[in-house]
Amino acid sequence: MSFENFPTSNIPEQKPTPQKRAYNYKGILLGVLLAALAGTWAYLIWDKSKSNEQAQHLSMQLTTSDSSKNDLQRELNQAVMNLDMLKSTNLKAEELLKTKDKDIQDLKQRIQKIINDKNATAAQLREARGLINQLKGNIETYAAEIEKLKNENLTLTEEKRVITVERDVVRKNYDSATVVIKEKEGIIDVGSTLHASNLNVIGVKEKTSGKEKETTTAKRVDKLKISFDIDENRITQSGLKEIYVNIIAPDGSVIVIPEGAIKFVTREGVEKMATKKVEVDYKQGERKQVQIELAKVQNFIPGNYKIEIYNNGFKIGEAVRSLKKGGLFS
């Protein structure tokens, strides 16, 4: 086998040149657009979700705010009702609350203003809550003061009742004592009344010589002499005692002296005329003789002359003197 030698060429071996890859620009652009669209939709969905969440949150806030306002309004109404009830408890409570009325009204107005504010913030609602708590605290303080006043009033009422009972007892005892005292005073008064005995009345004729002569002839009598004894009395206090003397003429009239009428009142309450009033200086427990003269104030007529002696409203003695009609030789 024969081999043929061919001449080798010096030209280097050329490798095949790779062809450039053709890019699909339309596909890339479409992908970018799709990605952008997907991102936009994702953002829109997220934004809507966020908006819904915010709206829901805002709705919850509004609901919470309305609920808080309603609660605040209820609490305010309850506080005002409690305040009105306190006013109706008694007069002192109403007077006390009147002195606090301006402070109470200021608190109520501030609270109500916040509640009525549609745009009230949470901070304002908290302020309203604090004001309501302050109002409640004030009402509790007023209630305690009113209760104290009520207790004091009850104490005063009980003290008044006790004092009234004690007063009634004292008054009853006083009235009883007064009755007893009056009874004893009456007994003492009656017991201290003087008593006259040995009552004697004589007619006297005064002669020109100055001598006196007893007579029973009416037309000759110039004066009457009356004498009597005041008996012993250990109850009557010593001192001047008023004695009234009545001389009653036969016609029943009381002989009245020219100096004027003398009156006195009997124990029966009857006012009587007296002929003469004398004051006797009496000493307790002793007997005393009394003498009285009655000058002629009118012509004596025949008949019986009654002489009555009075002391302390009681008739304490009585006597009769008869004067006769004068004869030819009398």
- The yes/no answer on whether domain 196-323 falls in CATH 2.40.50.100 is no
- Specify the DSSP element, H or E, that contains 126: helix 122-191
Nearest to 203 by CA among 221, 189, 230: 221
Beta strands per DSSP E along the chain: 196-206, 212-215, 223-230, 239-248, 262-265, 271-274, 276-282, 288-295, 303-311, 314-323
pLDDT at 4: 47
For residues 221 and 292, give the distance between their C-alpha atoms in angstroms, rounded to a whole number: 15
User: What's the mean pLDDT when you consider all of the chain?
Assistant: 79
CATH 2.60.40.10 in the chain is located at 196-323
pLDDT at 210: 81
pLDDT at 6: 44
Contact 302, 245 (CB under 8 A): no
pLDDT at 53: 64
User: What's the pLDDT tens digit per position in 167-201?
Assistant: 888 888 887 777 777 777 667 778 888 999 999 99
For residues 105 and 97, give the distance between their C-alpha atoms in angstroms, rounded to a whole number: 11
- Name the burial class of residue 83, with classes exposed (0-12), middle (13-18) and buried (19+) by CB atoms within 10 angstroms of its CB: buried
CA dihedral 103, 105, 108, 112 (to 10 degrees): -140
Place of tokens 């609350």: 97
pLDDT at 2: 46
Which regions of the chain are under pLDDT 50?
1-6, 8-9, 11, 20, 22, 328-330
